[in-house]
């Protein structure tokens, strides 16, 4: 009997079980924390770790953590349902199909240019607003695009989600890890700005090249298809303007008006219904299509919630601080290069049980910065090792609900995704390490 790779639901349930078992095997402990006046965030006090009485998590608590994690992720779940439903409506009006055909026709002589522009746009989105969950709702568009361009959908996801995460990893201005880490490490934003922009360009360039090179669908018919210009029409044009323009407007709302998930959900709920009415689906027809869209996106939303369940169990067992302490303490006596490499690897591993980008930054930077002081090297390396590791690991760890939701919505198996990106991932990791070691 052929053994298939586990379903994403099984993978995350396995992580829930492993995190529960870890609460029995790992000692409970905690760091003291205080509010940092400069950032307004709670930070760890260096040298304050102490072991506490074992906080075992019962079987009942472990099982209840599954729905609790989904409830904690309710805001993202609603966002996925409402934005995903809106794009499902757009797809059913036919405007998406027509728009993609027109786009491909416009770049009929240079598909590579289209893919490069796609990657650059998403890398900038990742560099500025760390776009990730928002891409879940765009998956229907990405699937259509991959079919029309005869490219593997994994490559198209790599040029969108992947480029966004690589952009977030190498960005000097990402507010969720770079800027936050620099504040916590008391490093000026301007320090090494040009240096980091150079490596941002190199990293995105290498990632984009590898995604495009590896993405051509070798199993599909390769004969040249004669493309004909298609008229978008005013209805389809208005629908595309509202839906795609809405994404741009959403970015403005996030950066300028401090929009949260509720504002984004409400905004696209209105857009979805408006597009259905413009596309002549009717009131009842739009409602039926919208609810069908919920069915398509619900699994992606559950995946995000289950990823939070893992962290919730570790938090209840109070073993997260113990893991951090165990990884960082041995590094203090190592030579500079080994200590920095150990710090980078530790940050990679920590991101599996701590999937929150800002959460890991707040937890580890106050500990990593004094380590850099002890080694007599720049605190900027504490920022580099944290930022690079966190966002790059987001491409691999199944505890990252956003990534798991995107590939699940795109119909990509987790093991196939890892096989497709791993060499490109290692190439960018190599660039990150060059950036780190050159600064030592």
Percent of the chain, pLDDT > 90?
32
pLDDT at 378 over 80: yes
How high is the pLDDT of residue 302?
79
User: Mean of the pLDDT values across residues 377-394?
Assistant: 91
Residue 222 DSSP label: -
As beta bridge partners, residue 35 has 42
> 344 with 22: CB under 8 angstroms?
no
Tokens 């965030």 — which residue?
41
Q: What percent of the chain has pLDDT over 70?
A: 92
How many Å is the maximal CA-CA distance in the chain? Answer: 71
- What confidence score (pLDDT) does residue 70 get? 86
Please provide the DSSP assignment of 283-348 as one string: HHHHHHHHHHHHHHHHHHHHHHHHHHHHHHHHHHTT-HHHHHHHHHGGGGGS-HHHHHHHHHHHHH
d(CA 290, CA 151): 28
Give pLDDT, residue 374. 61
Greater model confidence, 313 or 37: 313
pLDDT of 219 > 80? The answer is no
In this prediction, residues 6-32 reach a mean pLDDT of 86
pLDDT at residue 150 in the model: 85
On the question of pLDDT at 351 being above 70, the answer is yes
Q: Measuring CA to CA, which residue among 42, 109, 157 is closest to residue 402?
A: 157
Q: State residue 159's pLDDT score.
A: 94
Residue 200 has pLDDT above 90, yes or no: yes
Q: What is the pLDDT of residues 405-420, one digit of tens each?
A: 899 889 999 999 999 9
Answer with the residue of higher pLDDT: 2 or 159: 159
- Greater pLDDT, 411 or 75: 411
The answer on pLDDT for 1 being more than 60 is no
* pLDDT score of 324 more than 80: no
Tokens of 176: 């969720």
* pLDDT tens, position by position, 80-124: 788 778 888 888 888 877 877 777 777 777 888 889 988 988 898
245 vs 348, more confident: 348
**Of 318, 337, 319, whose CA–CA distance to 381 is shortest?**
337
Helix locations, 171-282, DSSP H? 178-184, 193-215, 233-256, 261-278
pLDDT at 58: 92
CB 79 within 8 A of CB 267: no
Contact by Cβ (8 Å): 90, 272: yes
Q: Are 141 and 87 in contact (CB under 8 A)?
A: yes
Quote the CA–CA distance of 356 and 209 in Å, as a whole number. 29
Which pLDDT belongs to residue 225?
A: 45
d(CA 310, CA 359): 14
pLDDT top residue among 170 and 139: 170
| Mean of the per-residue pLDDT values of the chain | 84
228-264 pLDDT tens trace: 666 788 888 999 888 878 877 877 887 688 787 788 8
Which range has highest mean pLDDT (52-66, 115-129, 166-180, 247-261)? Answer: 52-66
Measured CA to CA, the distance from residue 387 to residue 361 in angstroms comes to 8
């Amino acid at each position: 009997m052929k053994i298939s790779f586990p379903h994403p639901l099984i993978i995350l349930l396995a992580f829930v079980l492993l995190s529960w078992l870890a609460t029995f095997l790992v000692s409970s402990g905690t760091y003291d924390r205080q509010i940092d006046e400069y950032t307004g965030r709670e930070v760890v006090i260096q040298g304050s770790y102490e072991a506490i009485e074992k906080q075992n998590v019962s079987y009942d608590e472990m099982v209840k953590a599954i729905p609790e994690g989904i409830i904690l992720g309710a805001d993202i779940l609603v966002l996925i349902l409402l934005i995903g439903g809106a794009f499902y409506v757009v797809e059913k009006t036919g405007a998406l199909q027509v728009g993609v055909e027109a786009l491909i026709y416009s770049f009929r002589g240079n598909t590579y240019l289209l893919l490069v522009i796609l990657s650059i746009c998403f890398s900038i989105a990742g560099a500025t607003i760390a776009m990730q969950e928002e891409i879940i709702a765009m998956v229907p568009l990405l699937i259509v695009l991959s079919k029309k361009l005869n490219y593997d959908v994994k490559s198209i996801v790599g040029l969108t989600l992947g480029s966004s995460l690589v952009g977030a990893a190498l960005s000097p201005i990402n507010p969720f890890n770079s800027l936050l880490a620099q504040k916590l490490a008391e490093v000026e934003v301007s320090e090494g700005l040009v240096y980091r922009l150079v490596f941002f360009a190199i990293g995105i360039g290498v990632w984009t090249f590898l995604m495009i090179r590896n993405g051509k669908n070798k199993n599909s018919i390769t004969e040249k298809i004669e493309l004909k210009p298609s008229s978008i029409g005013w209805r389809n044009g208005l629908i595309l303007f509202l839906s795609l323009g809405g994404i741009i407007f959403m970015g403005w709302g996030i950066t300028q008006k401090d929009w949260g998930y509720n504002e984004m959900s409400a905004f696209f709920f209105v857009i979805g219904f408006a597009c259905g009415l413009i596309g002549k689906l009717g009131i009842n027809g739009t409602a039926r299509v919208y609810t069908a869209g919920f069915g398509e996106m619900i699994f992606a939303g559950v995946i995000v919630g289950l990823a939070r369940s893992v962290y919730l169990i570790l938090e209840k067992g109070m073993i997260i601080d113990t893991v951090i302490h165990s990884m960082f303490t041995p590094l203090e006596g190592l030579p500079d290069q080994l200590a920095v490499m150990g710090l980078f690897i530790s940050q990679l591993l920590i991101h599996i049980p701590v999937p929150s980008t800002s959460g890991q930054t707040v937890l580890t930077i106050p500990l990593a910065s004094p380590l850099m002081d002890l080694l007599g090297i720049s605190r900027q390396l504490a920022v580099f090792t944290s930022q690079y590791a966190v966002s790059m690991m987001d491409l691999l760890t199944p505890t990252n609900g956003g990534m798991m939701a995107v590939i699940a919505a795109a119909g990509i198996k987790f093991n196939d995704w890892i096989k497709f990106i791993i060499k490109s991932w290692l190439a960018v990791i190599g660039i990150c390490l060059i950036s780190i070691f050159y600064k030592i």
